[in-house]
């Protein structure tokens, strides 16, 4: 696991989005919340706020099952510039449009 820079971690922990699982809505009172690097680029975990998701431990342990919804949430949080930047080998703009159809709003 790639460490999250302290300045980014501090910013994330001040953001209410990171207080609960982005899939279940569970908080740390219900279950441990873990930070998941959802995007791998050039063989490394991406340390950008949009690419790190708060997940309940039970979701994180079954990440393969939840990968599509995690991708949808992640790309929903990214700017168009970020999507374009990471669309080298994979067209993430097109992928995000497919995820929108699958998962809705």
SS3 content of the chain, % helix, strand, coil (to 5): 50, 15, 35
Residue 75 phi, psi dihedral angles, 5° rounding:
-70, -25
- Per domain, the residue ranges of the chain are 6-103
**End-to-end alpha carbon distance in the chain:** 30
pTM of the predicted model, to two decimals?
A: 0.91
Q: Residues 6 or more apart from 13 whose CB is under 8 A from it?
A: none
pLDDT in 10s for each residue of the chain, 105 residues: 789 999 999 999 999 999 999 999 999 999 999 999 999 999 999 999 999 999 999 999 999 999 999 999 999 999 999 999 999 889 999 999 999 999 976
45 contacts 2 by C-beta, under 8 angstroms:
yes
């Amino acid at each position: 696991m790639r460490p999250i820079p302290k300045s980014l971690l501090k910013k994330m922990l001040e953001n209410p989005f990171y207080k609960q699982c982005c899939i279940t809505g569970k908080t740390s009172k219900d279950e441990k919340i873990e930070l998941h690097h959802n995007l791998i680029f050039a063989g490394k975990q991406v340390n950008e706020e949009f690419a790190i998701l708060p997940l309940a431990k039970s979701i994180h342990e079954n990440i393969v099952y939840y990968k599509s919804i995690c991708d949808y949430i992640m790309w929903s949080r990214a700017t168009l510039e970020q999507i374009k930047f990471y669309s080298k080998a994979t067209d993430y703009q097109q992928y995000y449009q497919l995820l929108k159809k699958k998962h809705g709003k």
